[in-house]
Amino acid sequence: MHKAIAVSICGSMIALLAGCASLGMDDKSLARDETLGQYGSALRFGDFGSAWQFIDPKVREAHPLDAAAKARYNRVEVGAYQTDGPMPLDENTVQQVAQITLVIKSSQASYDIIDHQTWKYDPAAKHWWLESGLPDIAPQQQ
């Protein structure tokens, strides 16, 4: 009898988990959440080189990361990265606002910036790309 109850409970748990996994989370949404999470991780570690790989290849080609820009990014560390989560604009576009705390390596002074991100889904590649580019790390007037 205990074995029958355990099998029944396990079967119910598996069905419940399968149902939770399918509640509104399609492959595109899962890919979006994974991509935005990986991008956020790259920024949290101050890895602007890795974050650059999330930029739409057309945007990278039109606006290459030159030596001066690389030097600017190398002068700061990321102290914090927080977002409000993606907000859909249409079926293939989301916007996200991130608050980023930057620390100037030479002085250890910190300041916050707001980064307005636009992410687009490429249905052919089944991939989300950041169209708005890397954050502008210049101190912003409040």
What gap in Å lies between CA 110 and CA 59, rounded to an integer? Answer: 29
Q: Would you state the pLDDT for residue 63? A: 94
Backbone angles phi, psi at 52, to 5 degrees: -60, -30
CA atoms within 13 A on the CB side of 46: 15
Domains belonging to the chain, first-starting first, are 27-130 (3.10.450.100)
Please tell me what DSSP assigns to residue 135. -
Question: Residue 36 and residue 99: Cα distance in Å, rounded?
Answer: 14
Q: What is the enclosing helix (H) or strand (E) of 60?
A: helix 57-62
CA distance linking residue 35 with residue 131, whole number of Å: 13
Q: With 0-12 CB in 10 A as exposed, 13-18 as middle and 19+ as buried, what is 72?
A: middle
Name 123's Cβ contacts closer than 8 Å, sequence gap at least 6.
92
- Res 38 pLDDT > 70: yes
Rg of the chain over CA atoms, in angstroms? 20
Query: Which has the higher per-residue pLDDT, 55 or 11?
Result: 55
- Determine the average pLDDT of the residues in 52-75: 96
Overall average pLDDT of the 72-93 stretch: 96
Segment 97-119 shows an average pLDDT of: 97
Give the pair of three-digit tokens for residue 81: 């990265």
Residue 139: predicted pLDDT? 86
